[in-house]
Amino acid sequence: MYLCIFFGKLKTSNIMRLLQSRFIVLILFTGFLSLHLSAQEGYVPTQENLDNREWFQDAKYGLFVHWGVYSIMGGGGDQGIAEWIMEQKDIPIVQYEKLPGFFNPTRFDPAEWVSMVKKAGMKYITITSKHHDGFAMYDSKVSDYNIVDATPYGKDVIGLLKKECDKQGIKLFFYHSQLDWHQSDYFPHGRTGNGIADRSEAGDFNAYIDYMNTQLSELLTQYGEIGGIWFDGMWDKPDADWRLGETYALIHKHQPGALIGSNHHKMPYPGEDFMMFERDLPGENSMGFNNTGISDQVPLEMCETMNGSWGFNIIDQNYKSVEMLIHTMVRAAGYGANFLLNTGPMPNGQIQPENVDTLMAIGNWLETYGEAIYGSRQGPVKPQEWGATTVKDNVIYVHVLDYKGRAIEIKGIDPSHLRSAVYFDDGSRVDVKRTEEGIHLTIPKKKVKSIDTIIVLTLK
């Protein structure tokens, strides 16, 4: 009857059609609403947060650290397994819980780590405070499953590292896994960890979120000012109510300047301050899971491994060359994105020597060419096969990474606005030709550098 009053003289079939379409709209609307209400709706970043976003974009280069008790297993002799070993080998919780008992990184020297980071030309570190195995690498009061209470080492490596970072002027971010194969309230289980035989068969997911938020509060209150939180793992339970709004508000309440990012492979939700791309240049989606485009609202970052593993893998020798990594960093900068390069420290607390060598070589390159990277933003031409462009004030840096002998086309530059075009290395003039749409640059063979031939275009 109510329907008849509401819809007046409409025929029943029309009413049904209308209802169906309204129902669909309603479903779409509530879906949209719940997605948004689940993040920090109405979030307005503070001035401090905005300043930190600028700092972040200027910094351009950081070290990603995947370190946990899994490093003891070194991947168990399999390529591609490291921090996922609990899942990939279906190790029962009760057995995996023995690992902390063997974790004693007596060679961990935070001063050495941070000076290495500085020599490498990196400006920040993002370290795993907790990975998917649920083990806290810091002093947590809400669970004994942490480095202080459960290992013979007994020291808070995160706290020690933070002290050293403060001393040497390096910002520290925390990678924090939302996915947890260990905690019993992480239930219902998600897409992963289903072969771990003794995971709980009941639990209260809300209690898990409370637990996670308490651990995050510890991270935000025990160590002074941090760079931000790098979330990962929501993809394990994409339909769950993660109460993101509450978590993000909590983080911004404790530290309004802290930058939040999440590796959910979606466009940033309200409350997130940067967007990341895993092993991928922004928008290129070569991995197949970063398919949502590029945000123009928040800073960008891409992360990459030095071999094929995030955590320590004893047999993985597939090291990327220094040239390849510099090229990725330059192309990332060409998209305006930071480059977060990963290392998986060994169980004794040292960084793999092969990784140190690579980092030092990149640091050397940056000592000379860092001017064209640090503080820059995305240049006028999007990265191309030949290279990328970065920009700083009235200077455009053209990074020629792979010169095939053909002229490099820079569209949108009026040659009459050009004060000079010179090679970064020796300041000599570059051959510039006017075209209909901009300029052409040609490089004689003898000027081509093996890694990056940088041309500096100064505008009037």
Q: How far is the CB of 131 from ligand FHN (least distance, A)?
A: 6
What residues between 355 and 374 interact with ligand FHN by CB under 6 A? Answer: none
Could you give the CA distance from residue 333 to residue 247 in angstroms, rounded to a whole number? 30
CB atoms within 10 A of CB 320: 16
Beta strands in 259-411 (DSSP E): 259-262, 275-278, 300-304, 337-343, 377-378, 387-392, 395-400, 408-411
Q: How far is the CB of 338 from ligand FHN (least distance, A)?
A: 14
Q: Is there a contact between 429 and 418 (Cβ–Cβ < 8 Å)?
A: no
Q: How far is the CB of 314 from ligand FHN (least distance, A)?
A: 17
Q: How far is the CB of 107 from ligand FHN (least distance, A)?
A: 24
Q: How far is the CB of 66 from ligand FHN (least distance, A)?
A: 6
CB atoms within 10 A of CB 416: 7
Q: Which is nearer to ligand FHN, 132 or 171 (CB)?
A: 132
Instruction: Tell me which residue has tokens 């000599």.
Output: 428
Q: How far is the CB of 4 from ligand FHN (least distance, A)?
A: 53
Q: Which is nearer to ligand FHN, 84 or 424 (CB)?
A: 84
Give the total residue count for the chain: 460
Which of 232, 280, 301, 316 lies at the binding interface for ligand FHN (CB under 6 A)?
A: 232
Q: How far is the CB of 51 from ligand FHN (least distance, A)?
A: 26
> Judged by CB under 6 A, does residue 71 bind ligand FHN?
no
> Judged by CB under 6 A, does residue 83 bind ligand FHN?
yes
The CB-side HSE value for 96 (13 A sphere, CA atoms) comes to 28
Could you give the CA distance from residue 188 to residue 279 in angstroms, rounded to a whole number? 29
What residues between 276 and 335 interact with ligand FHN by CB under 6 A? Answer: 278, 303, 310
> What are the b/e assignments for 438-457, b being 16+ CB within 10 Å?
bbbbebeeebeeebbbbbbb
Could you give the CA distance from residue 300 to residue 282 in angstroms, rounded to a whole number? 8
Q: Is there a contact between 339 and 332 (Cβ–Cβ < 8 Å)?
A: yes
Q: Which is nearer to ligand FHN, 269 or 397 (CB)?
A: 269
Name the residue whose CB lies closest to ligand FHN.
278
Could you give the CA distance from residue 397 to residue 229 in angstroms, rounded to a whole number? 32
Q: How far is the CB of 310 from ligand FHN (least distance, A)?
A: 4
Please tell me the count of residues contacting ligand FHN according to CB under 6 A: 7
Q: Is there a contact between 311 and 344 (Cβ–Cβ < 8 Å)?
A: yes
Q: Which is nearer to ligand FHN, 117 or 303 (CB)?
A: 303
Beta strands in 256-299 (DSSP E): 259-262, 275-278
Among 274, 266, 223, smallest CA distance to 248 is for: 274
Q: Which is nearer to ligand FHN, 60 or 265 (CB)?
A: 265
Q: Which is nearer to ligand FHN, 156 or 232 (CB)?
A: 232
What residues between 244 and 283 interact with ligand FHN by CB under 6 A? Answer: 263, 278
Which amino acid is residue 290, in one-letter code?
N
Q: Which is nearer to ligand FHN, 68 or 379 (CB)?
A: 68
What residues between 401 and 420 interact with ligand FHN by CB under 6 A? Answer: none
Q: Which is nearer to ligand FHN, 80 or 270 (CB)?
A: 80
CB atoms within 10 A of CB 235: 17
> Judged by CB under 6 A, does residue 73 bind ligand FHN?
no
Q: How far is the CB of 158 from ligand FHN (least distance, A)?
A: 16
What residues between 84 and 103 interact with ligand FHN by CB under 6 A? Answer: 84
Q: Which is nearer to ligand FHN, 215 or 263 (CB)?
A: 263
Q: Which is nearer to ligand FHN, 303 or 330 (CB)?
A: 303
Could you give the CA distance from residue 416 to residue 57 in angstroms, rounded to a whole number? 30
Q: Which is nearer to ligand FHN, 231 or 397 (CB)?
A: 231
Phi, psi dihedrals of residue 230, rounded to the nearest 5°:
-110, 100
Q: How far is the CB of 94 from ligand FHN (least distance, A)?
A: 23
Q: Is there a contact between 449 and 425 (Cβ–Cβ < 8 Å)?
A: yes
Which amino acid is residue 449, in one-letter code?
K
Q: How far is the CB of 233 from ligand FHN (least distance, A)?
A: 7
Q: Is there a contact between 229 and 176 (Cβ–Cβ < 8 Å)?
A: yes
Write out the residues near ligand FHN by the rule CB under 6 A.
Answer: 83-84, 232, 263, 278, 303, 310
